Structure 1
Amino acid sequence: MDLELRQLRTFLAVAAELHFSRAARRLHVSQPALSQQIRALERTLGAALFDRSSRATELTPAGRVLLDAAPRVLYEAERAQSLVTQAANGAVGLLNVGSVGTALASITPRILRSVRAHFPDLQLEVSQQDTAAQLVALTDGSLDVGLVRAADPTETVAIEHLVSEPLLAAVPSDHPLAGSASIVPEDLADEPFVLWPRPLGRAFFDIITSYCLDHGFSPRIVAEGADIETQLGLVAAGLGVSLQPSYYANLRPPGVAFLPLEGDVPQIALQVAWRRTDRSPAVAHFVDAALECARTP
């Protein structure tokens, strides 16, 4: 069946007027052209839609059925066209977003709010993942875009810098150093450390260990946590101290004091990451939103 939307619109105009001449004027077409469209529609459907046997034009039973169905058909067709256009522009669909906890505690909510404000029909599925897992997921295509920490670009994954903040010392709130205004790095030399496992973020782990080595000691790691909540919980329990990006101070975990470090302190970068080969407009929108949020704290 070769049903044209233009014919359905013509049919609805005639059905509304029940007069071919008035319908033609309404559509700004000639009456013969309008009549030709209606006849073509009737041939396509195999049924008469109007009773022209009397002086008044009336709908046939088949015409009344089409009058009920045609508006829904036109609405769905127009909706489909709109969705296709939006999808081509990256405004609809599903975007899988990964984020390290550091970003979730700082810039991620603002980025998500910005994307949602501009593209309300774009579905965002957000998961907390460490940097290493995100880089793998971006490479295999199970993640569309990620917010990572202290990562290096690869042949597959592009990285753009967003913001940087310094490391802070995280100590138990009852620790002798907890009341200090700041901490000299060497004061931590004999302390047990709680850190991230290196496989979850090699670059970040290496920043911390290099910082300690630069100040004459190697951190004595007594516990590791696969997420920030676990690590800060271990610190609060008194198992050790930790070095964490200052973003995490926003979490205000009970039992943990965050203290600035004296001297030159490493800056921990938050970045946005995506596949180099990905040409999705939705990914481009997200990256643009992330960069804009980074420019306007």
Structure 2
Amino acid sequence: MDITLRQMRYFKALSETRHFGQAAEMCHVSQPALSTQIKEMEARLGAVLVDRRGREVALTPAGWEVLRTARAIEGELARMQESLRWRGGLRGKLRLGVIPTVAPYLLPVALPLLRGRDVRLDLRVREAQTDTLLNDLADGRLDAAVIALPSGATGLVEMPLFEDRFLLAGSAMQLAALKARGLKVAPDSIDPERLLLLDEGHCLADQALAVCGLKREAARVDLGASSLATLCGLVGEGFGLTFLPELAIESEAAGLSLMRFPAPEPFRTVGLVCRDLGAPAGWFEELSAMLSEAGEAVIARAMVRWPRAG
């Protein structure tokens, strides 16, 4: 008799929780029922998949092999379901992920556009760092995500939305001292001892380091800011300098002095990604167009006060 999809789902839950009781709770079944299905699965395969001798369940080598296959099968089923679900365009339930350095600034403008297009759209938004969003996309927990491109992941469709340029941000006294030198401040000329970044895991910090030609250990990260708002508050009080994206100027520039870098200005490309389902993705293009419109609108307002050079 063949392995069932239910057994694979139970086994995957067990591999994630490493506990029969927690896996049963995740699958909304009793622990004996889940245990019975796992044993039946092992019998059908003729192999022991889990080591039950410790306090936590451990996968055997055969178990790891079955888990890889189960994840691949689950992924293909999700691809099939998504392809059919989106055949009618951008409608129904949309699960959208957005990175933290974009979400607070883009969503207040983008959500009214999405609602205005179709008030029946059931939009679920998750704010998380890039790695988490990519994992959720791969596992089918998200339909699309707004991140900085390129993603570096395979099996995705990527659509650039807008360019988000970086400005140098600091206290009035700090930037006045830089301007007094009469020199144009290039990103790679910034003293790493004065540079403050977000906690590790935020792609904005990695992008700032890249344009400065620095490694993370060279920058000051001892204050451990986990949000752009917190980071800007620290910088405004004179604790250092940082990079502020145009997208955040309207919300975060109060109390800060800003300076544009000389051309070519450093920037990040904000884009939309989804899994490559191997079929026309009209809904993805619709969503990209609205998010692009929203992002360009936010940046246009920022440029009124801080025009781009040239």
Q: TM-score range by the shorter chain?
A: 0.5 to 0.7
Q: Which residue of 2 aligns with 1:250?
A: 250
Provide the C-alpha distance between the structure 1 equivalents of 2:193 and 2:138, rounded to a whole number of angstroms: 38
Aligned to 2:123: 124
**2:100 is the alignment partner of 1:98:** no
Q: How many residues align?
A: 208
In structure 2, the CA distance between the partners of 1:99 and 1:188, relative to structure 1 (3 Å rule), is same
In the alignment, is the contact (CA less than 8 A) between 2:149 and 2:160 conserved in 1? no
Cα root mean square deviation, aligned: 3.5
Residues 240 and 158 (structure 1 numbering): CA distance in 2 closer, same or farther, change over 3 Å?
same
Residue aligning to 2:197: 195
Structure-to-structure mapping, 1:253-268, within 5 angstroms:
253-268=253-268
Residues 208-227 of structure 1 correspond to what in structure 2 (within 5 A)?
208-213=208-213, 219-227=219-227
Distance 1:294 1:176 in 2: 28
**Any idea what SS the aligned residue of 1:277 has?**
coil
Aligned to 1:234: 234
Contact residue 161 and residue 292 of structure 2 kept, 8 A:
yes
What's the TM-score, normalizing by structure 2? 0.55
Equivalent in the alignment of 1:286 = 287
Task: Name the CA distance, whole Å, in 1 between partners of 2:154 and 2:120.
Answer: 32
**Distance of 1:180 and 1:134 partners within structure 2:** 40
Give the structure 1 partner of residue 207 of structure 2.
207
Contact 1:92 1:119 in 2 (8 A): yes
- Cα deviation, 1:77-108, whole Å, max 9, x if unaligned, reads xxxxxxxxx98624643212122344335544
Structure 1 letter corresponding to 2:119: P
Measure the CA separation in 2 of the matches of 1:91 and 1:208.
35
Describe the superposition over 1:238-285 as per-residue Cα deviations: whole angstroms up to 9, x where unpaired.
322111322221214433222211243222111011121286875554
Secondary structure of the equivalent of 2:132? Answer: helix
Task: Give the gaps of 5 or more residues in structure 2.
Answer: 1-84, 301-310
Cα separation, 2, equivalents of 1:278 and 1:246:
35
Rate the CA distance shift 1:118–1:210 in 2: closer, same or farther, 3 A: closer
In structure 1, the residue matched to 2:169 is 170
Indicate conservation of the 8 Å contact 2:199/2:221, yes or no: no
Q: Is the 8 A contact 2:175 2:258 kept in 1?
A: no
* CA–CA distance in structure 2, aligned partners of residues 152 and 173 of structure 1: 35
1:50-199 → structure 2 map (5 Å cutoff): 89-90=88-89, 92-104=91-103, 106-177=105-176, 180=179, 184-185=185-186, 188-189=190-191, 191-199=193-201
Give the SS at the match of 1:244: strand
Answer yes or no: is the 8 Å Cα contact 1:91–1:121 preserved in 2: no
Contact conserved, 1:138 with 1:275, CA < 8 A, in 2?
yes
Give percent identity, aligned residues only: 19
CA distance in 2, matches of 1:173, 1:128: 32
Q: Is the 8 A contact 2:198 2:221 kept in 1?
A: no
SS in 2 for 1:199: coil
What's the offset of the Cα at 1:168?
0.8
What TM-score, normalized by structure 1, do the two folds share?
0.57
> Residue 178 of structure 1 contacts residue 259 of structure 1 at CA under 8 Å; is this kept in 2?
no
Name the structure 2 match of 1:269: 269
Gaps of 5+ in 1: 1-85
Which is higher, the Rg of structure 1 or of structure 2? 1
CA distance in 1, matches of 2:154, 2:123: 26
- Preserved contact between residue 193 and residue 220 of structure 1 (Cα < 8 Å): yes
In 2, are the aligned partners of 1:177 and 1:183 still within 8 Å (CA)?
Answer: no
Distance in 2 between the 1:211 and 1:91 partners? 37
CA distance in 1, matches of 2:253, 2:124: 26
> Which residue in 2 is equivalent to 1:46?
none
Q: Distance in 1 between matches of 2:189 and 2:230?
A: 24
State the alpha-carbon separation in 2 of the partners of residues 249 and 210 from structure 1: 21
Q: Is the 8 A contact 1:132 1:200 kept in 2?
A: no
